[in-house]
Structure 1
Amino acid sequence: MSEHEEKIINAENLNIDATLEDISKNLGRGETLILDVGNNYFNQTDRIYDTLVTRGYDVKKSFKNGRNQIIIRSGDQR
């Protein structure tokens, strides 16, 4: 197993504040966290993404298996 860890959180039913709290609890150094947002009702993917960018997270949007996702990487990924 590599040093790089990946976790998935279902963020479809979470509000932005709860999602950010989950990220801060679950994203450790050298890890990747995937927020599975699902159908993107009310453009929550964009709102969460924009908030994460303004807070300095390394993020990108993804669409996998018909679901919207945000991939968040912590620092020191080498």
Structure 2
Amino acid sequence: MELQNNIINFESLNDKNTLEVVRNRLKPGETLILDVGNNYFHQADEIYDVLSKNGYYVKKTLVNGRNQLLVAYEDNKHQMY
């Protein structure tokens, strides 16, 4: 798996279609990185809430001054550490 293929720039995407984008790109056993950027409008928090309430592991990170969310399936077979 190439990690670059699992990074999505979420700065320009509407957070209302978050679930659709994640469902289309995330496969079991993989981790998806949503690059939110500067988080001026707290979209990282909103996206975090949406995904965590819909059965995903979500972890907030800050890489090179950019807010990112790590997303994986939440079940007994797949876990994010």
Q: What range is the shorter-chain TM-score in?
A: 0.7 to 0.9
Matching residue of 2:78: 77
Structure 1 residue 26, shift from structure 2 partner:
0.3
Can you give the 5+ residue segments of structure 1 that lack an aligned partner in the other structure? none
Return the structure number with greater strand share: 1
Structure 1 residue 56, shift from structure 2 partner:
1.4
Can you give the 5+ residue segments of structure 2 that lack an aligned partner in the other structure? none
Matching residue of 1:57: 56
Q: Looking at both structures, which has the greater relative contact order when contacts are Cα pairs under 8 Å and sequence separation is at least 6?
A: 1
Give the root-mean-square deviation of aligned CA atoms: 1.7
Structure 2 counterpart of 1:77, one-letter code: H
Matching residue of 1:45: 44
- TM-score, normalised to structure 2, is 0.82
- TM-score, normalised to structure 1, is 0.85
Q: Moved runs in structure 1, 4+ residues, more than 6 A?
A: none
Query: Tell me, what secondary structure is at the counterpart of 1:71?
Result: strand
Query: In percent, how many aligned pairs have the same letter?
Result: 53
Structure 1 residue 77, shift from structure 2 partner:
3.2
Does the 8 Å contact 1:5/1:30 carry over to 2?
no
Structure 1 counterpart of 2:37, one-letter code: G
In structure 2, the CA distance between the partners of 1:5 and 1:55, relative to structure 1 (3 Å rule), is farther
Structure 1 residue 57, shift from structure 2 partner:
0.5
